[in-house]
Structure 1
Amino acid sequence: MARFSRLIEKSGTRLLDTLNGVLDLSKLEAGEMELELSPVDLAAEAKETVEQFGPEAREAEVSLEAETEAGPTWAYADRQGLQIVLQNLVSNAIKYVGPDGQVWVRVRSEEDAAVLEVEDTGIGMDPEAVPELFEAFKQASEGLGREYEGSGLGLAVTKEAVEQMDGAIDVETEKEVGSRFTVRLLRAGTENHD
């Protein structure tokens, strides 16, 4: 009986995640989720996301670390949109890295960009799969024998949110080595944003 309860709970969680992904994507694409850009401390948001996913990472036996510059890293972003991006990238990294793997969430400033990187030592993927990676309902591992669960919506939603924040997302990956997702957002000036 307990096994069936866990199965029902897991299925319900998966269904809810899929529905939320569909809703987020459709709202973003239809312009119904208004993303208002303002200076946001990307480093603080990244650290908060790492804290939020700490229990999930520990349960999966994954090392999850935030690496940021000293002080804030200001980006023009929408806080809700940024949280969607961070949560999807970190959640995916933990899912695909496996026990004893590592996930780094890095934030740095470049001359005109605030840069977020989420890198993992996971399964990586065939570079030929990258062009379809950001399409809705696509995963790098397709087919009935897929080892990893998911709707294939997270990265489509992530890309849409990044683009609506006037940013860009890129991925470098190597099969059996890992992946690095890089998000570049317009860097906000150094004036006081409190």
Structure 2
Amino acid sequence: MTEVNVTAPRGAARRGAPPAAGGRLPSQTRPRGAPRAFRGGRARRPMAAASRAVTLPAVVEELLSEMAAAVRESARVPDEHLLLLKFVFGSSALQALDLVDRQSITLISSPSGRHVYQVLGSSGKTYTCLASCHYCSCPAFAFSVLRKSDSLLCKHLLAVYLSQVMGTCQQLSVSDKQLTDILLMKKNQEA
């Protein structure tokens, strides 16, 4: 993969961060063709999905926005975007794409406008995702995202965002009472 030199984070030299081989810090490299957010700039446009009350990091917003534009133009995700997904999310990107390919994501909506996503995980368990606040009920989200801060998202939440971008999310309309029951059932199972 070709590397491109970008500016170091402000104050990096003063903090005494040793440069990597080639005189660049590891955070100073990005794949060629990466979204502008990799270069330290602000994302050019907000994410298309209006359901995001809390924002994702700029690089993720930019990548998903560019993927959505590419899907609108050509009905497919370019290889360049798939490589960037792998660069940002590692193996979770492939697992999330597999969930999208298997159509494991369902958007459950109620007449009051409330909605949640349910993702049938690779283990056969169903997880509830709230895209508006970037939450998933899976153990990986609790451990890797919330506790250790190793990951930006779990594979289930990433699959939700990818299914929104690709328009492959299954839809299910339920009553407000049924949606409440779905959420309470999940809470009781976790307790």
- TM-score when normalising by structure 2: 0.29
Say which structure, 1 or 2, has more relative contact order (CA 8 Å, 6+ apart): 1
As a proportion of its length, which structure holds more strand? 1
Which protein is bigger by CA-based radius of gyration?
2
- TM-score when normalising by structure 1: 0.29
